[in-house]
């Protein structure tokens, strides 16, 4: 008997539910980043994602629950984009350059900047989520830098504080300008040059 051209697996109910949830979260990302929290409509989310309003409410409870689920999902993606590959084998300056470029590139990504604007705008309503989104990513990268400095015996007494200074140098004016100016962007060449200058400034400082 001839084999069928392909085997079609019937999705299990849980698969459909998870797929619908992902569709709602992606649609919510588009709507909340476009309109902000107050102006966003869950009906618009359903129009983009498909499904029904009843299904959305059963999965997220209400508009606030949908926003928080979307913000936490975006936060998880943001953290993954910040986390550098292992650079322990690299010389100190080269490794800091790699970490710094990835940090600034993730920070200035259009979706990340838009999400920062929305989350900060809703700070009074969701203070815990504001703190999580703004600080935990930088905390994770700071820990990576501090560990890297310690492993390379960079000569700093407080590696955690030194790492925070470096990340502030790298963030510099660019993050604020990106938040304030919708069309602000750095080319890859400009980004690498800025990070290189910050790393050199930092290493000269700790060298002294």
Instruction: Give pLDDT tens digits for 149-201.
Output: 888 877 788 889 999 999 999 999 999 999 999 899 999 999 999 999 999 99
pLDDT value of residue 1: 42
Give residue 14's pLDDT band: very low, low, confident or very high (50, 70, 90): low
Nearest to 187 by CA among 101, 85, 97: 101
Q: What is the pTM of this model?
A: 0.76
The residue among 30, 23, 32 whose CA lies nearest residue 119 is 32
CATH 1.10.357.10 in the chain: give the residue spans: 72-207
According to DSSP H, which parts of 152-186 are helical?
Answer: 159-180
Query: What does the pLDDT read at residue 47?
Result: 95
Residue 6 confidence (pLDDT): 41
Cα(48)–Cα(192) distance, rounded to whole angstroms?
37
Closest CA to 152 of 208, 96, 103, 196: 96
Give me the mean pLDDT over the 102-107 stretch.
91
Round to the nearest angstrom and report the end-to-end CA distance of the chain.
79
Quote the percentage of the chain above a pLDDT of 70: 91
The DSSP element (H or E) to which 78 belongs, if any, is helix 63-82
Q: What pLDDT shows up at residue 94?
A: 92
* pLDDT of the residue at 5: 45
Neighbours of 41 (CB within 10 A): 11
Model confidence band, residue 24 (pLDDT cutoffs 50, 70, 90): very high
Q: CB burial class (10 A; 0-12, 13-18, 19+) of residue 195? A: buried
Residue ranges of the alpha helices (H) in 83-187?
92-108, 110-121, 127-151, 159-180
For position 12, what pLDDT does the model report? 52
CATH architecture type of domain 72-207: Orthogonal Bundle (1.10)
Residue 11: pLDDT over 50: no
Average pLDDT, the chain: 85
Q: What is 13-61's CATH number, 3.30.460, 3.50.4, 1.10.10, 3.30.70?
A: 1.10.10
**CB atoms closer than 10 angstroms to residue 19:** 12
Cα–Cα distance measured from residue 137 to residue 153, given in angstroms and rounded to the nearest whole number: 25
Q: What is the mean pLDDT of residues 12-41?
A: 86
pLDDT of residue 167: 93
Over residues 15-27, mean pLDDT: 88
The per-type count for the chain, helices as H runs and strands as E runs, is 9, 0
**pLDDT score of 142 more than 60:** yes
Residue 114 near residue 90 (C-beta atoms within 8 A): no
CATH 1.10.10 region(s) of the chain? 13-61
């Amino acid at each position: 008997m001839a084999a069928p051209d392909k085997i079609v697996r019937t999705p299990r109910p849980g698969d459909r539910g998870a797929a619908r949830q992902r569709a709602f979260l992606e649609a919510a990302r588009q709507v909340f980043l476009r309109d902000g929290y107050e102006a966003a409509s869950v009906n618009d989310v359903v129009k983009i994602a498909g499904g029904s309003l009843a299904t959305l409410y059963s999965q997220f409870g209400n508009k606030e629950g949908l926003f928080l689920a979307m913000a936490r999902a975006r936060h998880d993606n943001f953290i993954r984009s910040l986390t550098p590959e292992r650079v322990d084998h690299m010389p100190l300056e080269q490794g800091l350059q790699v970490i710094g470029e990835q940090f600034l590139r993730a920070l200035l990504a259009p979706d990340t900047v838009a999400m920062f604007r929305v989350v900060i705008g809703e700070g009074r309503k969701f203070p815990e989520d504001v703190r999580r989104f703004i600080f935990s990513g930088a905390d994770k990268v700071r820990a990576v830098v501090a560990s890297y400095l310690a492993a390379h015996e960079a000569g700093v007494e407080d590696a955690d504080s030194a790492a925070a200074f470096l990340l502030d140098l790298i963030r510099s004016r660019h993050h604020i300008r990106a938040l304030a100016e919708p069309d602000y962007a750095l080319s890859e060449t400009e980004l690498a040059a800025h990070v290189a200058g910050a790393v050199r400034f930092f290493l000269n400082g700790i060298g002294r």
